[in-house]
Chains A and B, each alone.
Chain A
Amino acid sequence: MTLNKLIRLILIIFSLIIVWELFVVAFKLPEYILPTPYQTAKTFIAQFQLIATQSIPTIIETLIGLLGAIVIGSLTALLMAYLKTLKDWLKPVLLISQALPTFAIAPLFVIWMGYGMPAKIATIILMLYFPIASSFFDGLSHTKSEFLDLAKISKATKLTTLFYIRVPAALPHFATGLRVATAGAPMGAIIGEWVGSSKGLGFLILNANARMQIDVLFAALLMLILWNFVLYFSLDWLLKIFVIPQNRE
């Protein structure tokens, strides 16, 4: 991140906080409707141990879910690219996975897998499977024809064409899907926790809401935003190192 970008980011956050503070002051909102940024920060520090303990399961779920979706989604895309007949069979499955409303399916996962982490991880995988598989497959099926000519003239096998030509050429598409998925991963965890759980940030938010502890709710939200930032920018950084420069033309 350049200095300019950093300054801009700080300015954005600062402006949002000021707007928030002004909003509360202008409408004379009581603490139980909307706490001020100052109160939120105070709660965040005072309740930090609680919030931190509750974020650990959420963070673990997000990471495992994201990883699972990457593995399953990429495998689907690779299989679809390698076997044409399988593509015709799997494409509807992909679409169905996207059409299923996560909120409606998540309670089912709780019934099937219980209150523990597996149900949350399944929710995240269901949510992220489509963006990863479809964007990667899209990249795999739009390899430049010149590259495929090269493979043909070099007497490449179907498998070497896939791994030495089509996969590297599809990496920018894969990166796009991964970015979308990463931005959605923590939300998947929260949805999973909302429909039934005994720990996690989603559980804390739901609980705080029910008890009218709006300041705790906001402090938990702040933690969620921070986690989302860390996750997204780490991934962005990894992609910039390993994936993107390879394909710069």
Chain B
Amino acid sequence: MLVSEAQLTYQHKIIFENLNLPFHRHQWTGILGPSGVGKSSLLRMIAQLPIQGKISYHTDALQTDISYMTQSETLLPWLSIVDNILIGLKLRRQKITKSDHFLAISLLDNLGLSECINRKPAQLSGGQRQRAGLARTLFENKNIILLDEPFSSLDTPTKQSCYTLFKQLLMNKTVIFVTHDPLEALKLGDHLYRLSGQPAQLTPVVVPSDKTNLLNSYDKLIEEINA
């Protein structure tokens, strides 16, 4: 299990209890739900990050194997993009070798950010910053990737190109993403769960087999906008 018997109490209110989320290895698992229902807290539990409120849970995920991305990009504004990619090494007091540098630059190249290597995050567009965040995630090369509404601040065309890119580059990873957008959930998820109610329950959502057909016309429209 990714999370089992999870419980969150905030200001004497039970947000959720006895929540279980299965571990779908090498696939995308989406958690869909309205804001304030505890989606992000659930994700933070997996990442073992501090959460406001009283919590208890078990997880089979190792923290050392986890990457975590949020909508508010976590690029450090005082570092250049390439230094942002390498910051993990610095924080762990690991030596930055030439090959680390080379890998970071080639990742940025692959993501179409070769011109941004020495720029500061503020000089990049929202989509570029999100791609730089992905570059750091890829550089860290963890097996479990947690995405907390990573696309919600992007405009629709940029979102669409990010979907494709993330899907492609995080192919063999175990991805758990959180969103309030049903369309996004349908597009990205191999498995979907709806988190709703008080206290919140996790209900599996059937991912329609004909979702590509359903979304064909939508995609076409986006492609037209993108062109």
Contact = CB atoms under 8 A, between A and B. Distances in A.
Interface of A: 146-147, 149-157, 160-161, 164-165, 168-169, 171, 246-249
Given A149-B49, A153-B47, A161 B77 contact: no
Contacts of A155: 63-64, 88, 91-92
Given A154-B140, A155-B88, A155-B91, 13 more contacts: A146-B70, A149-B68, A150-B76, A152-B49, A153-B67, A154-B92, A155-B92, A160-B91, A161-B91, A165-B91, A168-B78, A246-B77, A249-B121
A68 B132 CA distance: 41
B119 to A, nearest CB: 12
Q: Tell me what chain B mostly uses at the interface: helix, strand, loop, or mixed.
A: mixed
Contacts of B121: 249
B72 interface: yes
A152 B87 CA distance: 12
Contacts of A161: 91
B93 interface: yes
Contact of A146 (B47, B64, B72, B140): B72
Interface in B93-145: 93, 120-122, 140
Interface residues of B, number: 25
Q: Tell me what chain A mostly uses at the interface: helix, strand, loop, or mixed.
A: helix
Contact of B92 (A149, A156, A168, A171): A156
Nearest to B91: A156
Contacts of A156: 91-92
B192 interface: no
B85 to A, nearest CB: 12
21 contacts: A146-B72, A149-B49, A149-B70, A150-B74, A150-B87, A153-B63, A155-B88, A155-B91, A156-B92, A157-B91, A157-B93, A160-B91, A160-B92, A160-B93, A161-B91, A164-B91, A168-B78, A169-B78, A171-B78, A247-B78, A249-B121
B13 interface: no
B216 to A, nearest CB: 37
Nearest to B92: A155
Contacts of A151: 91
Contacts of A248: 77, 120, 122
